[in-house]
Structures are given as C-alpha cells and as structure tokens.
C-alpha cells in the first residue's frame, strides 16, 4: 500500500528599495535640528539671564555665558546693546539665533537633497516549494 503526500510551503518576503537611505536622511536631519535646537535654547537662556541681570559669578550663569560665547563671538559688537543698570538686551544674540536657525535649515535641506531617495514600490518575492513524501507500509 502506498500513500502519496504533497507538502507545499509558501514564503513571501518584502523589501523596500533604498529604505536605509531614507532612514539615514531622517535621522541626520533629526540630529541637526536637535543640536541647533539645544544651541538656540542656550542662547535664549543667555539673553534671558542678561535681561534680568543675573550674577555672572554664579557657576551656572558662567557656564552658559562661556559656552554660548563660543558661538556668539562672531556677532559681538555687531550692534549696540541697550543697557539699564545690570540688565542688558543683547540684540546681537537675537541676530545670532536667526542666523543659526537659517544655517540649520540650510544644512537640513542639503542633506535631504543629497541623500533622500523617494519611496519606490515595495518588492514582494513569493517562493513556493513542494515536496512529495512516499510512505510504503
């Protein structure tokens, strides 16, 4: 007596062409906005601390002033800063925030232009294997 059994196995796999390229583009633009966002917040803190006349000898104030000075020195003495007592409005820092925001936007656009690949069709591959088993009893 013989018994014929057919076993079929179907496997489908999908791939999306250049998916890794799009993920890289997205992550790189996120990193740019994160870094420039942190810089913008620190400059805004500096402006706020100068407006309220914060003590420059305080460690946190000195840290913020020292770090932001690295990015603001090209803009120092660009325009005069109105002052009243200890309070100062650094207009050049406001201008620097605008410039750094435009630089971040331009860098992000360049990354998208150079590295982004539009989403294509999803490629599906279906593989069917059939095997026959013969059992003799």
Query: Is residue 61 in a domain?
Result: yes
89 assigned to some structural domain: yes
Determine the pLDDT at residue 22. Answer: 84
Q: Does residue 112 form part of some domain?
A: yes
Q: Give the pLDDT confidence score for residue 135 in this predicted structure.
A: 57
Per-residue pLDDT of the chain (137 residues; tens, 9 = 90+): 545 566 667 777 666 767 788 888 899 999 999 999 999 999 999 999 999 999 999 999 999 999 999 999 999 888 888 989 889 999 999 999 999 999 999 999 999 898 877 776 666 666 777 766 555 55
Beta bridge partners of 132: 6
In the chain, the number of structural domains is 1
Nearest to 96 by CA among 40, 58, 37: 40
**Token representation of residue 21:** 């390229």
Give a yes or no: residue 1 inside a domain: no
Host domain of residue 54 = 19-119
For residue 27, being part of any structural domain is answered with yes
Radius of gyration of the chain (CA): 31
Could you tell me if residue 9 is inside a domain? Answer: no
**126 located within any domain:** no
pLDDT value of position 9: 73
Residue 4 covered by a domain: no
């Amino acid at each position: 007596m013989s018994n014929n059994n057919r076993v079929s196995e179907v496997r489908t796999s999908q791939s999306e062409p250049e998916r890794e390229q799009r993920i890289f583009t997205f992550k790189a633009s996120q990193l740019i906005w994160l870094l420039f966002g942190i810089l913008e917040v620190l400059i805004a803190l500096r402006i706020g601390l100068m407006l309220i006349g914060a003590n420059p000898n305080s460690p946190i104030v000195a840290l913020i002033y020292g770090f932001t000075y690295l990015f603001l020195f090209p803009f120092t003495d660009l325009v005069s800063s109105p002052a009243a007592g200890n309070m100062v409005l650094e207009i050049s820092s406001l201008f620097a925030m605008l410039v750094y925001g435009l630089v971040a936007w331009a860098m992000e656009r360049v990354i998208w232009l150079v590295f982004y690949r539009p989403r294509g069709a999803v490629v599906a591959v279906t593989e069917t294997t059939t095997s026959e088993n013969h059992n003799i009893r």
